[in-house]
Structure 1
Amino acid sequence: MTAIEFTLPADLEAHEPPEARGLARDRVRLLVGRRSDNSVRHQRFSDLPTLLKPGDVLVVNTSATLPAAVGVAGGGRTVHFSTERPDGTWLVEVRRNTAKATEPYSGGAAGEQYHLLGGATLTLREPYSAGRLWVADVDRAVPAYLTTIGAPIRYPYVRQRWPLSYYQTVFGTTPGSAEMPSAGRPFTAALVARLVSAGVQFAPVLLHTGVASPEAHERPYPERFAVSAHTARVVNQARAAGGRIIAVGTTAVRALESATGPDGVVRAAGGWTELIVTPELGVRAITGLLTGFHEPRASHLDMLAAVAGRPLLDRCYTEAIEHGYLWHEFGDVNLLLP
């Protein structure tokens, strides 16, 4: 698929959480696109219960965000812990400290050691993707170490530090994601209650997401996931009854589709998934998607096109830019319906 090309104006980057802009979490903007007629509507996220139907299912990721950034002793560098691998090593990104946050660092060599704050030692094994991710050994139990020492990953467009609570969703119960599964951020307990009262079902999945990729076709990496027998049953029954299966975030798509067979039936599954959803591959279980806005040429846009189709996706992104929607983890949201 040809990458979606557009220019993201700097003033459309969300520089702080909506709460800092005077908005409740569920009052961010919601751009609704319908594939059936290629239409778009401009709403607020709090309108979601009026946009869904009884019998619809929202597939939500229960992964909670780790404070996955740790400074190197002596300053100058920060390590972003991305993803644990099946053999116990970790994928990490070494970044250069700047006055604002951090920036990519293309240095590093196999065998090089970094002494991290809190006393841990990280050893680079081999490059995983050119100029960015490394396979590394760490002499600590990483999740527990990060909980004690780490800080949330922050990129330069976020102008100040925010507590970890701002990077958690109402669904996050199992720590493990390097970055927030941010499509779930606008949900509140009160909004979930409204949705349940309206007959919408929730189906939990788990996928621990790693650090975001700046490249459209960077080498994918396996991520830990789990889909329970309960979730499989809820989704299969809802689809049989004509309900829509709407993933909350690209992570939920990846988890559920990893548990879906060629026959379209979802079965309990878990482990590590390397699934990359493209228009050519398509989706078998998901019929709609609630997601944030993604950067130009991002690989996630292929997944969105697989769910929504390229014409609707093009229209949504044109409208979002023209109407000043905000990007990134603290930004606005896009609902793509069949």
Structure 2
Amino acid sequence: MSRGEPRLDWEGLLWETRGFLGLDDDAPVPLDELRETAEANGWSEREFREAHRNADRLVNVGTLDNPRVVLDDTESDTGDEESDSRDDTPRVDSENPVSNWGSNGEKRENVNLGSSPELEQGVFPEDLKGVTQWLTWKATDDGRKVPRAPYEHPDWPDKFVSAQDPDVWRDFDTAADWCNKLGGYDLAFTIRNRDEYPDERFVLVDYDDARDPDTGEIHPVVREHIERAGSYSDISTSGTGVHIFCRGELPEGVKAIGAELPEDDQFPDAEIEVYDSGRYSAMTGNHIVGTPRTTRECQSFINDLVDEFATVAEGTPDQLLRTVERRTR
């Protein structure tokens, strides 16, 4: 079935799903039930996911593990004149500087960083701590970060393991305890393979050579991205990299983004990579003060990164890679 960009009738689908489940007219609807209703109406799972990704008015009011959605009727409740003059830039009430709604219904944290933001140690994303996708890693003699699972192989703690093997995943406390027991081990978190776990929502935005470990100064584009994402951010093990952990997905069929950042005299080799499937990351807990202590839905931000940095490389249709012409800031 070829329809172009899928345009689902969210209001009709929500009404039908509520009726089937016996819910009140304005009750939040489980996302899985909404998808099943869409499929019953002839839409494929891929079309549903694509439409959901671009649905500005569909808002998750549930949890990460149990998403439940409603329509944000803010736009329909306003007159044409007010709607035309509306400023969609996320704002925060100065009397209550907490999370706020972006123009696409994503809840964001107001983040405003200086050029050298402060760090706090031992702060890991609260929502990641609530899922069993943690493991440990230990560096090899040549500095490679190799996943290990001493709790799974206590007689051979240094055994190399696959970070995508669910048998080596543990809860945060268990992995942290083993790091404390054994010298040289540190925490890591696995983003599951979405082919096997289609409910995976975590995304890693990884910046290399984008921070001065002596001054703490961060590449200005990276700092801008952190502020735009409004999600948990930390510093890499080397001190020269930056991570943004958020929730969303890359476009259908795309495995990763890799690109050079716009040229900056202080950070001539800075790069960006984005992963949403089959990737694990060393976790330092070196949290950037001013960013949330949890991850946020950042689909519009991820879409912007795709538009800004990614083109399909010849011979690799399943991966977005780009060598951009560097621009001096």
Q: Does TM-score exceed 0.5, indicating one fold?
A: no
Shorter-normalised TM range:
under 0.3
Q: Higher relative contact order by CA 8 Å / sep ≥ 6: 1 or 2?
A: 1
More strand by share: 1
TM-score, normalised via structure 2 length: 0.25
Structure index of larger Rg? 2
